[in-house]
Amino acid sequence: MADLSDCVIPHYERHAHAWDADRRRSVWNDKPWRDRFVAALPTGASVLDPGCGSGAPVALNMAVCGLAVTGVDASPSLISLCRQRTPGHRWVVGDMRSPPIRGRFDGVLAWDSFFHLTPGDQRRMFQVFAEHSRRQSILMFNAGPAHGEAIGNYRGDPLYHASLDPAEYGSLLDGIGFDVVAHAAEDREAGGRTVWLARSRA
């Protein structure tokens, strides 16, 4: 499975335009969580969106809500779509595990991206979250409901996913100074996603 995790970035570049079209046609069943994330932020807040994809509908919605978005994605094709759709915001080609940007943000949203990382990379991401967060920053990500790895499929190609145990996510959040605000496992109202919403203490 470790070898398949290395295929995630080229997978999204290869299928960039097909994935974008499919995402825009799909039902936006995770919008209530996205709205909750936006509502937790001050007006005009800055948001880091690691693994931003094509920016539609998520980053586009945040921009419409008046947030200043910095999106990072390893697919040049997906970042190109972001730049076309949402000019005036910052779009950077780079790996979310080591985003080539500096600065701290009011919010960090790692949505439908974080779960493509290996367990080890997920653990290391919490330091990335901490390094890019301000006091009282809001962090939201989705993962799996239990520790393990799984292989999905998109347009005939395998697609790697992984998750840590919920207790470990809670411990990792606490370790970087974040309190859990809300957590839902396999939320039916969000397409079965398992969601973590947290706020920085300092």
Q: Please state, in angstroms and as integers, the Cα–Cα distance from residue 130 to each residue in 103, 139, 170, 171, 182, following that order.
A: 11, 10, 14, 14, 18
CATH top-level class of 2-200: alpha beta
Cα torsion for 176, 179, 184, 186, to the nearest 10°? 0
Task: Label residue 2 by pLDDT band (50, 70, 90).
Answer: low
The whole-number average pLDDT for the span 53-82 is 97
Cβ neighbours for 133, distance < 8 A, ≥ 6 positions apart:
104, 105, 108, 139, 176, 178, 200
Which pTM was predicted? 0.97
The Cα 145–Cα 180 span in angstroms is: 16
The whole-number average pLDDT for the span 81-95 is 97
The whole-number average pLDDT for the span 111-126 is 98
∠ CA 99-52-66, rounded to 5°: 105
Q: Are 68 and 86 in contact (CB under 8 A)?
A: no
**pLDDT tens track for 133-181:** 999 999 999 999 999 999 999 999 999 999 999 999 999 999 999 999 9
pLDDT over threshold 80, residue 202: no
C-alpha radius of gyration, the chain, whole number: 16
Percent of the chain with pLDDT over 70: 100
Q: Determine how many CB atoms are found less than 10 A away from the CB of residue 112.
A: 17
The Cα 187–Cα 184 span in angstroms is: 6
Report the DSSP pairing between strands 148-154 and 157-163.
antiparallel
What pLDDT is stored for residue 1 in this prediction? 72
Query: Quick one: DSSP state of residue 55?
Result: -
Cβ neighbours for 72, distance < 8 A, ≥ 6 positions apart:
48, 49, 50, 51, 52, 92, 93, 94, 95, 96, 99, 100, 101
